[in-house]
Amino acid sequence: MTSTRCRATSEVRPEVMDFSPYSAGLSIDEIKERYGLDTVVKLASNENPLGTSPLVQQVIRSHAGHVFRYAQSGNPRLGKKIAAFFGIPEDGVVTGNGSDEVIDLLIRAKARPGVDNIIAFDPCFSMYTVLTRLCGVELRQTPLKPDFSFDWDALVNLADDKTAITFVTTPDNPSGYTPPVEEIMALAGRLPEQCLLVVDEAYMDFTGDRDAYSMLPRLADFPNVCVLRTFSKSMGLAGLRLGFGAMQPELADYLKRIRPPFSVNILAEHAGMAALDDDTFYTETLRVTAEGREYLNRELAALGCTVFPSRANFIMFEAPVDGAALHEGLLRRGVILRPLNKGYGLPRHMRVSVGNNHENAVFIAAFKEILDAR
Ligand SMILES: Cc1ncc(COP(=O)(O)O)c(C=O)c1O
Residue 100 CA to ligand 1 centre (angstroms): 6
Residues 193 and 228 in one domain: yes
Residue 227 lies in a domain: yes
Residues 262 and 290 in one domain: no
Residue 267 CA to ligand 1 centre (angstroms): 19
Residues 162 and 185 in one domain: yes
Q: Whose CA is nearest to atom 7 of ligand 1?
A: 99
Residues 270 and 289 in one domain: no
Q: Which atom of ligand 1 is nearest to the CA of 101?
A: 11
Q: How far apart are the first and last CA of the chain?
A: 48
Residue 326 CA to ligand 1 centre (angstroms): 25
Residue 96 lies in a domain: yes
Residues 101 and 250 in one domain: yes
Residue 339 CA to ligand 1 centre (angstroms): 17
Residue 200 lies in a domain: yes
From 247, 277, 307, give the residue that closes a domain. Answer: 277
Q: What integer pLDDT is reported at residue 89 of this predicted model? A: 97
Residue 63 lies in a domain: no
Q: What integer pLDDT is reported at residue 235 of this predicted model? A: 97
Residues 107 and 176 in one domain: yes
Residue 56 lies in a domain: no
Residues 272 and 287 in one domain: no
Residues 229 and 98 in one domain: yes
Q: Residue 199 in contact with residue 171, Cβ under 8 Å? A: no
Q: Whose CA is nearest to atom 12 of ligand 1?
A: 202
Residue 5 CA to ligand 1 centre (angstroms): 37
Residue 317 CA to ligand 1 centre (angstroms): 20
Residue 1 lies in a domain: no
Q: Rounded to an integer, what distance in angstroms lies between the CA atom of residue 346 and that of residue 365?
A: 25
Q: Which residues surround ligand 1 with Cβ inside 6 Å?
A: 46, 98-100, 125, 169, 173, 200, 202, 230, 232, 238, 243
Q: What integer pLDDT is reported at residue 1 of this predicted model? A: 59
From 219, 251, 277, give the residue that closes a domain. Answer: 277
Residues 263 and 296 in one domain: no
Q: What are phi and psi of 165, to 5 degrees?
A: -145, 140
Q: What is the CATH number of the domain that holds 72?
A: 3.40.640.10
Residue 201 CA to ligand 1 centre (angstroms): 9
Residue-level pLDDT, tens digit, the chain, 374 residues = 567 788 998 899 988 888 887 777 678 888 999 999 999 999 999 999 999 999 999 999 999 999 999 998 889 999 999 999 999 999 999 999 999 999 999 999 999 999 999 999 999 998 999 999 999 999 999 999 999 999 999 999 999 999 999 999 999 999 999 999 999 999 999 999 999 999 999 999 999 999 999 999 999 999 999 999 999 999 999 999 999 999 999 999 999 999 999 999 999 999 999 999 999 999 999 999 999 999 999 999 999 999 999 999 999 999 999 888 899 999 999 999 999 987 778 888 999 999 999 999 999 999 999 999 88
Alpha helices by DSSP H, 7-75: 7-10, 14-17, 28-35, 54-62
Q: Which atom of ligand 1 is nearest to the CA of 230?
A: 10
| Identity of the residue numbered 162 | K
Residue 332 lies in a domain: yes
Q: What is the CATH number of the domain that holds 25?
A: 3.90.1150.10
Q: Rounded to an integer, what distance in angstroms lies between the CA atom of residue 219 and that of residue 81?
A: 18
Residues 254 and 343 in one domain: no
**Domain encompassing residue 180:** 68-277
Q: What is the pTM assigned to this prediction?
A: 0.96
From 277, 298, 324, give the residue that closes a domain. Answer: 277
Q: What integer pLDDT is reported at residue 117 of this predicted model? A: 98
Residues 127 and 28 in one domain: no
- Other CB atoms within 10 A of residue 37 CB: 15
Q: Is 2 exposed, middle or buried (0-12, 13-18, 19+ CB in 10 A)?
A: exposed
Q: How many domains does the chain have?
A: 2
Q: What are phi and psi of 57, to 5 degrees?
A: -60, -40
Probe ligand 1: pick from 124, 232, 311, 353, max atoms within 8 Å of CB?
Answer: 232
DSSP state of 112: P
Q: Whose CA is nearest to atom 13 of ligand 1?
A: 202
Residue 300 lies in a domain: yes
Q: Whose CA is nearest to atom 8 of ligand 1?
A: 98
Residue 78 CA to ligand 1 centre (angstroms): 19
Residues 191 and 273 in one domain: yes
